[in-house]
Amino acid sequence: MYMRFFSRLYSAMAGPRPVVLSGPSGAGKSTLLKKLIKEYDSVFGFSVSHTTRNPRPGEVNGKDYHYVTREAMQMGIDNGDFIENAEFSGNMYGTSKAAVQDVQAKNLICILDIDMQGVKNIKKTDLNPIYISIQPPSMDILEKRLRDRKTESEESLQKRLHIARVDMEISKEPGLFDTVIINDDLEEAYGQLKQALLVEITKVKNVNMSS
Ligand SMILES: Nc1ncnc2c1ncn2[C@@H]1O[C@H](COP(=O)(O)OP(=O)(O)OP(=O)(O)O)[C@@H](O)[C@H]1O
Ligand SMILES: Nc1nc2c(ncn2[C@@H]2O[C@H](COP(=O)(O)O)[C@@H](O)[C@H]2O)c(=O)[nH]1
């Protein structure tokens, strides 16, 4: 208990608490976090993950992800360069220590967009983030959003929907997330996200004003 108290105290002194956004593929995590970073570019910074999946049209290497080969990613994991990593729908994903440090060095709130395995693994670290789950209003709407996004093959879409069903059950575990947001109306969901982060946003703004 004391260890956890001092770990949290140290994290508070070290800078603002990071934020983990998780939820099924297609629930709207990227849409919401992009809105947040656009409105609060001097408050939030995105933790750029590594992945072995191919870039989608419009995605930029180093901005959306660091696109790497399996060999390079495995080497990084073996070197201890990653806080967490996971296999998702046939590809590897991971948060490097450098990705988080780059954002924290700018005194920004670091946002991680990670899957459920990532959430479970981050819980074993001393990162002490705020955990937010973004959920779709229904499986039918999730499927429609994923299809309309036109980024997935039928096989990848089915894999993602299967993972979504499993993860939506797991996410009901009490205490796993600090806040659960149903992303039905986008503006409403965005308002709830800002509300959930208001304390941390205010802290960073106050620090920036006084420096
Ligand atoms: N509230 C909403 N209403 C309607 N469409 C939405 C809403 N939120 C997001 N979308 C759309 O749904 C699709 C999926 O959203 P997005 O890519 O942000 O999901 P994601 O959770 O980041 O998915 P992934 O985990 O696969 O990256 C996008 O085409 C986005 O424009
Ligand atoms: N555990 C981790 N999960 C990650 C990371 N980066 C992204 N993700 C999750 O992967 C799926 C699929 O993403 P997509 O961009 O291929 O649609 C999604 O749930 C992301 O949240 C990571 O570094 N670690």
**Ligand 2 centroid to 180 CA: how many Å?**
18
Q: Find the catalytic residue in 4, 70, 147, 149.
A: 149
8 classed as catalytic: no
Q: Best mutation site among 52, 81, 88 for ligand 2, i.e. most ligand atoms within 8 A of its Cβ?
A: 88
Looking at residue 181, its amino acid is I
* Per-residue pLDDT tens over the stretch 47-83: 999 999 999 999 999 999 999 999 999 999 999 999 9
- Ligand 2, atom 8: closest residue by C-alpha: 114
Whether residue 120 has its Cβ less than 6 Å from ligand 2? no
pTM: 0.94
Looking at residue 16, its amino acid is P
- The confidence score (pLDDT) of residue 92 equals 98
Nearest atom (ligand 2) to Cα of 121? 1
Q: Which CATH architecture has domain 2-47+110-210?
A: 3-Layer(aba) Sandwich (3.40)
147 classed as catalytic: no
- The confidence score (pLDDT) of residue 4 equals 52
4 classed as catalytic: no
- The confidence score (pLDDT) of residue 9 equals 47
**What is the ipTM metric for this complex?**
0.98
Distance of alpha carbon 107 from the chain centroid: 18
What rounded mean pLDDT belongs to the chain?
A: 93
**Ligand 1 centroid to 45 CA: how many Å?**
19
Q: Is 179 exposed, middle or buried (0-12, 13-18, 19+ CB in 10 A)?
A: middle
Rounded CA-CA distance 166/162 in Å is 7
Nearest atom (ligand 1) to Cα of 27? 21
Q: 6-16 in b/e burial notation, b at 16+ Cβ within 10 A?
A: eeeeebeeebb
Q: Best mutation site among 20, 29, 31, 161 for ligand 1, i.e. most ligand atoms within 8 A of its Cβ?
A: 31
* Per-residue pLDDT tens over the stretch 113-139: 999 999 999 999 999 999 999 999 999
Residues 6+ apart with CB under 8 A from 8: 128
152: DSSP letter: S
Average pLDDT over residues 91-115: 97
Phi and psi dihedrals of 202, rounded to 5?
-65, -40
